């Protein structure tokens, strides 16, 4: 069984492993490491996390953990991980020079705003007299190469401003199980609990990722760590600053990786569903199309598609090249913000909170499709797959999104029985939500 841990949740001490070349490499390499560390450290803060309560009329502070933050603006905005911020309700911030302050609450009183789907949170450093915040320089994570040297700076186990190094092991890692939307950089940089939210930088001192998690069977570092790419961090954090939420771009088609073994293993990205009234349907994308390129960038894995599409804001026109019946076609798709359904006592938001699924109407008449699955949701755990066509819910046929929600609202229990169609076969999957 694979075991993954967020860095703030690991409790077992792991031995630090330092790459040989970093310790005994050439003077030029040593100098590059030293200069990079000096350049980046002023942009890194340590976060001490507290949970507060009231006792005998006084506020009591209980320390619940540590984290790291990366300064991104001159007025003190910083990014960290959502799983760091949500562990408390009060935050002490320690600057690189030891200066201490508190996180500054936003206008609604909350200390952070976050995008849980990417595990990114935005916080603001409280006012400091005469303070000049030094933001990190953003690098282009799409240009990061496997084998490239990178450094991590953070607050492991409360050991402030700790530096570790390693190389990029892989890019575009998905299906890791840390976040709903995944496109991770994998490294062998030693990181531990408290490193979450800290920067991963190249030897030019540019931010290429935010350290987020490790894979482990012991609870501590074992040579595999993951970071959110800086291009994703930049887009998400600036959306949060500007709008207070993520206006997630939507194209309206669902895809899967398809393995072709005829002439060596080859992966194709196949469209398995086109959502009704979506940009994809408007442009002419069809079920069965093979995605070849998006905006001139070749697409051969789900991770590559997520990375490319995720870096464009709402309103962008994307050129999508596809293969259909041996012929090549190119379409222009307008990235659109997906409209939220009107709230009701039991609507699709409750559907997501209970079962971790979202539904839409397929472009084919009378078809309801599972358009999104959370890896942490009951639907995913019990075997549902994005693109499944829903035939019935609890024995009642459903032919539209509205019909599905009507049946869902009548269901007083947390048990769901879905009859679905997948690859021309019919399955019945029953599951229960553990959500309260």
| Residue 412 pLDDT exceeds 80 | no
| Residue 381 pLDDT exceeds 80 | no
Distances (CA, A) of 54 to 62, 65, 92: 11, 19, 18
Out of 7-11, 91-95, 254-258, give the one with best mean pLDDT. 91-95
pLDDT in tens, 116-131: 888 999 999 988 877 7
Report the DSSP pairing between strands 396-397 and 389-393. antiparallel
Output the pLDDT for position 202. 97
Of the candidates 205, 209, 199, which has an alpha carbon nearest to the alpha carbon of residue 230? Answer: 209
Output the pLDDT for position 20. 45
| Average pLDDT over every residue of 83-101 | 92
Cβ-Cβ contacts under 8 Å for 215 (sequence gap 6 or more): 2, 3, 4, 5, 176, 222, 224, 225, 226
Output the pLDDT for position 376. 66
Percent of the chain with pLDDT over 70: 83
| Residue 234 pLDDT exceeds 80 | yes
Output the pLDDT for position 426. 87
- CB burial readout 22-31, b (16+ within 10 A) else e: beeeeeeeee
Q: What is the mean pLDDT of the chain?
A: 83
Output the pLDDT for position 111. 92
| Average pLDDT over every residue of 132-143 | 94
The answer to whether 298 touches 281, Cβ cutoff 8 Å, is no
| Residue 285 pLDDT exceeds 60 | yes
| Average pLDDT over every residue of 72-84 | 94
| Residue 255 pLDDT exceeds 80 | yes
Output the pLDDT for position 17. 39
Q: DSSP character for 7?
A: G
pLDDT in tens, 296-331: 888 887 777 876 787 677 888 999 999 999 999 999
How does residue 257 score in pLDDT terms, banded at 50, 70 and 90? confident
Output the pLDDT for position 349. 47
Between residues 435 and 96, which one has the greater pLDDT? 96
Between residues 379 and 48, which one has the greater pLDDT? 48
Q: pTM of the prediction? A: 0.69
| Residue 270 pLDDT exceeds 80 | yes
Output the pLDDT for position 149. 97
Report the DSSP pairing between strands 206-215 and 137-138. parallel
pLDDT in tens, 341-376: 443 444 444 677 677 888 888 888 888 999 888 776
Q: Look-up: residue for tokens 């799409």? A: 142
Helix intervals (H) in 55-196: 82-85
How many Å apart are CA 304 and CA 311, to the nearest integer? 11
How does residue 209 score in pLDDT terms, banded at 50, 70 and 90? very high
| Residue 5 pLDDT exceeds 60 | no
In the chain the domains, ranked by start, together with CATH numbers, are 1-246 (2.40.10.120), 249-337 (2.30.42.10), 348-432 (2.30.42.10)
Between residues 412 and 421, which one has the greater pLDDT? 421
Would you name the residues annotated as active-site residues? 83, 119, 196
Query: Hey, how many other C-beta atoms are within 10 angstroms of the C-beta on 337?
Result: 13
Beta strands in 261-349 (DSSP E): 266-274, 290-294, 297-298, 317-324, 327-334, 336-337
| Residue 414 pLDDT exceeds 80 | no
Output the pLDDT for position 224. 87
Out of 36-50, 164-178, 212-226, give the one with best mean pLDDT. 36-50
- CA dihedral 135→136→138→141, nearest 10 degrees, is -150
| Average pLDDT over every residue of 251-270 | 74
Between residues 255 and 91, which one has the greater pLDDT? 91
Of the candidates 176, 247, 214, which has an alpha carbon nearest to the alpha carbon of residue 7? Answer: 214
Output the pLDDT for position 180. 61
């Amino acid at each position: 069984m694979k075991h993954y841990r967020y860095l703030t949740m690991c409790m077992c001490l792991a031995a630090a492993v330092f790459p040989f070349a970093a310790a005994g490499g050439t003077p030029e390499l040593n100098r590059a490491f030293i200069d990079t560390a000096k350049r980046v450290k002023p942009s890194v803060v340590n976060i001490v996390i507290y949970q507060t309560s009231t006792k005998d009329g006084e506020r009591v502070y209980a320390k619940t953990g540590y984290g790291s933050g990366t300064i991104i603006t001159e007025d003190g905005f910083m990014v960290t991980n959502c799983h760091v911020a949500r562990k408390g309700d009060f935050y002490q911030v320690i600057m690189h020079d030891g200066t201490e302050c508190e996180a500054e609450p936003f206008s609604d009183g909350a200390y952070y705003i976050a995008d849980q789907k990417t595990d990114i949170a935005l916080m603001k450093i409280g006012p400091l007299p005469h303070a000049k915040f030094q933001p990190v320089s953003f690098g282009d994570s799409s240009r990061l190469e496997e084998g490239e040297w990178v450094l991590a700076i953070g607050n492991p186990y409360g050991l402030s401003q700790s530096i570790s190094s390693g190389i990029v092991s892989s890019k575009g890692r998905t299906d890791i199980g840390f976040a709903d939307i995944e496109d991770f950089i994998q490294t062998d940089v030693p990181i531990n609990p408290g490193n979450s939210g800290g920067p991963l930088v190249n030897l030019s001192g540019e931010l290429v990722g935010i350290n987020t998690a490790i894979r482990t069977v012991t609870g501590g570092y074992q040579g595999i760590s993951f970071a959110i790419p800086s291009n994703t961090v930049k887009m998400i954090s600036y959306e949060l600053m500007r709008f207070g939420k993520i206006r997630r771009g939507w194209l309206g088609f669902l895809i899967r990786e398809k393995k072709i073994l005829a002439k060596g293993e080859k992966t194709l990205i196949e469209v398995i569903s086109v959502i009704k009234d979506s940009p994809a349907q408007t442009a002419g994308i069809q079920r069965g199309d093979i995605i070849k390129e998006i905006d001139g960038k070749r697409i051969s894995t789900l991770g590559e598609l997520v990375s490319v599409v995720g870096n464009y804001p709402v309103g962008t026109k994307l050129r999508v090249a596809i293969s259909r019946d041996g012929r090549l076609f190119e379409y222009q798709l307008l990235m659109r913000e997906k409209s939220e359904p009107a709230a009701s006592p039991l609507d699709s938001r409750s559907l997501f909170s209970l079962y971790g699924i979202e539904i839409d109407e397929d472009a084919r008449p009378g078809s309801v499709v599972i358009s999104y699955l959370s890896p942490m949701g009951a639907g995913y755990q019990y075997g549902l797959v994005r693109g499944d066509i829903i035939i019935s819910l609890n024995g009642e046929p459903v032919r539209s999104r509205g019909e599905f929600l009507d049946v869902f609202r009548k269901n007083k229990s947390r048990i769901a029985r879905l009859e679905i169609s997948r690859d021309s076969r019919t399955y019945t999957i029953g599951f229960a939500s553990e959500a309260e």
